[in-house]
Structure 1
Amino acid sequence: MTDVQSMKKKFIIDTDPGIDDAMAIFVALKSPEVDVIGLTTIFGNVYTTLATRNALHLLEIAGRTDIPVAEGSHVTILQGTKLRIADFVHGSDGLGNQNFPPPNGKAIGQSAAEFIVEQAKTYPGEITLVALGPLTNVALAIQLDPAFTKNIGKIVILGGAFAVNGNVNPAAEANIFGDPDAADIVFTSGADVLAVGINVTHQVIFTDGDREKLAASNGKFAQYLCKIFGVYYGYHYDAYNTRGVYLHDPATIIAAIDPSVVTCTEGVVRVQRAGITRGLTLLYNNQKRFGEVTEWCNKPSVKVAITVDAPKVVKMVMDRLINS
């Protein structure tokens, strides 16, 4: 390993590709600060089987078939099989209804949780796990190895709607809603966690003008993304009446690469696991000492992003995609 390689941040990206996942993966692959050592797959934008196919396809497009893909859980942490799949946002194939031919590659034999645990053991303290979908695989890794939360360097989560409405319903953000029981395990695990919620990512808007700049560029990844963007833009026009899209996953990748793009607060985060507010993320800011013993007591704090330098995030995303 060269000195340059050893200085790079090691990323495992847990992903449910997904149009903005594709964008985020390409941004990570074009980031000189990052060494992507694996992709793990989860349900969310698509079912897990299709997420794996899409992850393998994206690595083939990128010419990075050296990067392993480990398939994740097909069910929630409590074995739930009625999954929320956002094909109406990303297309039935997850990639803008382009129906690309199947990839040549295959997932490795290990499960996503096994792969994540093994890599964290191999590189203790060095790996950033970027979770772009529901947190089932991450929770399974925590359950699989009691030392995992100490071995993993950081867990950067796209998830939560802190003090704003959700995007699945008024209470919940999609990834947390996808497996709230898993999310609660991760938030209370004691790992070094940064949550990048939609309170932040909804400030990072990729406009029609940005899309046109990508289309006019010679970037390989830029051209690919412009081919698949249509469904995603159409959804945003309809759901939010906006002439642009929110960069949820790319903003989270950028925050993992350069934490200075967000400011954070710290506190205990718990997740509502039932009822009409299922998937709600609630941050306790530690400013009041309560007299009663509750399910919030003696829980570890996590970091939650509260502001973002949106122009810087968009510029970093654009630069990497145009120079691809």
Structure 2
Amino acid sequence: MAMAMETTTTTTRRKIIVDTDPGVDDALTIFAALLCPEVEVIGLTTIFGNVPTAKATKNALGLLELAGRTDVPVASGSPCTFTGEEKLRIADFVHGDDGLGNTGELKPPPTATELGVSASQFIIDTAEKHPGEVIVLALGPLTNLAMALKEKPDLALHSIVCLGGAFRVNGNVNPSAEANIFCDPEAADFVFGGSVDMHVIPLDVTQRCVFSNMDLDLLEAKGGTLGKYMKDISQFYADFHKTTYNLNGLMLHDPTAFIAIVRPDLFFWK
């Protein structure tokens, strides 16, 4: 884990690309980032993980439509790992078949479409447009970033904030593996070996950050249309946490990684 980032203020809004595999907690994070005055979401890139890449792209477009932010571009990522293997394992038992709690088709359906460039190329192009300014918030496997860094090893990102790994706790795929690293370990190895500053948010931290069922009720009551939607998609995810961990709520894996961008002072960094 890298040195702590400087505290973000509204006068120095961080430009972020969210590399995502939506995913219930991805959706919560995307909405939080879009509503947060401290950051500017300048793009979403999609990757397999919770769902296949094509579904991740569809979900990303739909979430932006629901949030009224179709101005945010979406670039679809690789359907395969860094070494070219097709990924068949998805986390439908955690997030539902659709990745969004089996809540059905997003309404209204997305009017925007994905960009005509790959996720890795979008990351390269955006970093070149804003050298040293862009943070990539990596919420899924690191495949897109690995491909971007392979193409351009001196990629001028500000940093990468990565949800991944389990250092002093068991993994969530097996005792030694966390899901994002497990899905594409070669990509993770390549990115960790690169020159871009890395800020890793592991399960050691995220499993301690819990959104209770009472919090979900409050979100529904106070959060308007988006709050109700977030409560609805979270029910399947909360049921998984109850069955698996006997937890009355849900672990905020992806949102915790986002919080590390906005409030790095809340974390100890090594």
Normalised TM-score (structure 1): 0.78
Higher alpha-carbon deviation: 220-229 or 47-56: 220-229
Root-mean-square deviation over aligned CA pairs: 1.3
User: Conserved in 2, the CA contact under 8 Å of 1:120 and 1:127?
Assistant: yes
Letter in 2 for 1:231: F
1:255 aligns with 2:260: yes
Distance 1:184 1:263 in 2: 23
Which residue of structure 1 lines up, in the alignment, with residue 43 of structure 2? Answer: 38
Quote the residue 1:246 is aligned against: 251
**What is the DSSP-based 3-state SS (H/G/I as helix, E as strand, rest coil) of the residue aligned with 2:131?**
coil
SS at match of 1:141: helix
**1:141 maps to what in 2?**
148
Amino acid corresponding to residue 256 of structure 2 in structure 1: A
Q: Tell me if structure 1 keeps the 8 A contact 2:209–2:256.
A: yes
Percent identity, aligned pairs only, is 51
Unmatched runs of 5 consecutive residues or more in structure 2: 1-8
2:21 is the counterpart of 1:16 = yes
CA distance in 2, matches of 1:169, 1:60: 36
1:10-59 CA-to-partner distances (Å, cap 9, x unmatched) read 00000000000000000001110110000000000000000000000000
1:180 matches 2:190: no
- Give 3-state SS (helix, strand or coil) of 1:60's partner: helix
1:25 to 30, 33, 36: 30
Matches of 1:195 and 1:157, distance apart in 2: 5
* Paired letter, 1:119: T
Structure 2 length as normaliser, TM-score? 0.94
Q: Specify whether residues 174 and 118 from structure 1 end up closer, same or farther in structure 2 by C-alpha distance, changes over 3 A only.
A: same
Q: Which amino acid counterpart does residue 255 of structure 2 have in structure 1? A: P
- Partner residue, 1:293: none
Paired with 2:235 and 2:263, the residues of 1 have a C-alpha distance of 29
Query: Which aligned segments of 4 or more residues in structure 1 are displaced greater than 6 angstroms?
Result: none
- Indicate how the Cα distance of structure 1 residues 5 and 245 shifts in structure 2: closer, same or farther if over 3 A, else same: closer
Indicate the structure whose relative CO is greater, using CA pairs within 8 Å and at least 6 residues apart.
2
- 1:105-149 Cα distance to aligned partner (Å, 9 max, x none): 21000100000011011101100100000000010010011221x
Which runs of no fewer than 5 residues in structure 1 stay unpaired? 266-324
Q: 2:79 is matched with which residue: 74, 82, 98? A: 74
How many positions carry a matched residue from both structures? 260
User: How big is the shift at 1:219?
Assistant: 2.9
* 1:191-213 CA distance string (max 9 Å, x none): 10000000000010011111111
Rounded to whole Å, the distance in 1 between the matches of 2:116 and 2:53 is 15
- Shift in CA distance, 214/6, structure 1 to aligned 2, threshold 3 Å: closer
2:56 to 38, 43, 51: 51
Q: 1:167 aligns with which of 165, 172, 175?
A: 172
Q: In structure 2, what is the Cα distance between the partners aligned to 1:45 and 1:103?
A: 20
Residue 60 of structure 2 aligns to which amino acid in structure 1? A
Q: Return the index of the structure with the highest Cα Rg.
A: 1
